[in-house]
């Protein structure tokens, strides 16, 4: 057997979903006895059969990716509860198995998958979607690409009617319906090393109450920018007008058209708009969000 063929068969066997009791299946994805499959390329030893040796890798692979998904989406786990999140994880990873060299990309299809399988979100489906979007944006903002920020001299003599700016690739824009930013920060709150079991149990009970309280809220518009400063990710709420400008710029519209779109139907008095725009751009530039458009 050639090395590539062996690697593929090994990978297929290792990535075969576990049984409900978290053991290796008796039948391979190719419809062959898994014991016969294991014996065809793994030798037994004096303690374990070929099947048992392969099962170790099979179980550890799945335990690791379940753990990785839980680490990346603690907010979603808190929203759904442990049992429902575990059921979602198994179904999602069977439908969307890892195809990347890094576990970082494991949850990249989770939002789209959850929208197509709302039963896994249950009565908290909309809240769960908001949380998934935020947690994936958190990942994207953490290690997304960064290019040289726009300098003041780059704008010398620029005409707003034709000027196109673009946002840093790591900047994420989210229009939400629930305050999942506050909820995620509460969920991620770590206990001190000297806290005991009773304290941990209290914190878990508090988190459950916090999730339930957020789930009962009436949906409302929340505009959020997820961005990075050095190696830290931050959540910054913005006004609808700010969000509209940033979204329009990301879509490739000129600065002039982006500003026009932002104030269409806005309740901000006309005489205050120029001052607001100036302050917003000052804040965004200070955070290094802008770079010149490639167009």
Q: Are strands 232-238 and 165-167 parallel, antiparallel or unpaired?
A: unpaired
Q: What percent of the chain has pLDDT above 90?
A: 78
pLDDT, the chain, mean? 91
Rounded to whole angstroms, how far apart are CA atoms 50 and 39? 5
Q: What is the CA angle 131-207-111, rounded to 5? A: 15
Please give the residue that has the higher pLDDT: either 204 or 112. Answer: 112
CA 36 – CA 53 distance, rounded (Å): 13
Topology of domain 146-178+219-292, per CATH? Answer: Outer Surface Protein A; domain 3 (3.90.930)
201 band by pLDDT with thresholds 50, 70 and 90? low
Instruction: Answer positive or negative: Cα dihedral of 60, 122, 105, 10.
Output: positive
Beta bridge partners of 165: 292
pLDDT tens-digit map of 114-168? 999 999 999 999 999 999 999 999 999 999 999 988 876 777 677 888 888 999 9
CB-based contacts of 215, cutoff 8 Å, min separation 6? 79, 123, 124, 127, 178
**For residue range 16-75, what is the model confidence (pLDDT) as tens digits?**
999 999 999 999 877 889 999 999 999 999 999 999 999 999 999 999 999 999 999 999
Q: What is the distance in angstroms between the CA of the first residue and the CA of the last residue of the chain?
A: 51
Domain ranges of the chain: 3-142, 146-178+219-292
Q: What pLDDT is attached to residue 157?
A: 73
Q: Across the strands, what pairs with 49?
A: none
**Residue 206: pLDDT band with limits 50, 70, 90:** confident
């Amino acid at each position: 057997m050639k090395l590539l063929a062996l690697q593929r068969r090994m990978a297929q066997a290792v990535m075969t979903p576990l049984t409900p009791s978290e053991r290796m299946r008796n039948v391979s994805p190719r419809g062959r006895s898994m014991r016969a499959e294991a014996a065809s390329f793994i030798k037994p030893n004096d303690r374990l059969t070929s099947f048992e040796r392969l099962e170790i890798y099979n179980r550890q692979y799945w335990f690791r990716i379940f753990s990785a998904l839980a680490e990346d989406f603690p907010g979603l786990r808190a929203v759904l509860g442990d049992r429902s999140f575990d059921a979602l994880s198994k179904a999602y990873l069977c439908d969307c198995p890892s195809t990347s060299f890094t576990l970082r990309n494991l949850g990249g299809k989770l939002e789209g998958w959850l929208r197509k399988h709302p039963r896994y979100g249950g009565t908290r489906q909309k809240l769960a979607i908001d949380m998934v979007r935020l947690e994936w944006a958190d990942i994207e903002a953490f290690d997304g690409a960064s290019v040289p920020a726009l300098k003041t001299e780059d704008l010398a003599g620029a005409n707003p009617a034709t000027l196109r700016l673009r946002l840093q690739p790591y900047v994420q824009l989210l229009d939400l319906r629930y305050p999942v930013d506050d909820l995620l920060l509460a969920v991620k709150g770590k206990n001190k090393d000297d806290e005991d079991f009773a304290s941990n149990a209290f914190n878990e009970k508090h988190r459950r109450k916090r999730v339930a309280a957020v789930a009962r809220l009436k949906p409302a518009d929340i505009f959020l920018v997820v961005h990075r400063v050095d190696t830290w990710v931050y959540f910054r709420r913005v006004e609808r007008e700010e969000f509209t400008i940033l979204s329009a710029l990301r879509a490739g519209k000129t600065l002039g058209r982006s500003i026009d779109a932002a104030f269409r139907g806005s309740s901000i008095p006309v005489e205050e708009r120029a001052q607001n725009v100036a302050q917003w751009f000052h804040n965004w530039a200070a955070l290094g969000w802008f770079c010149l458009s490639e167009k």
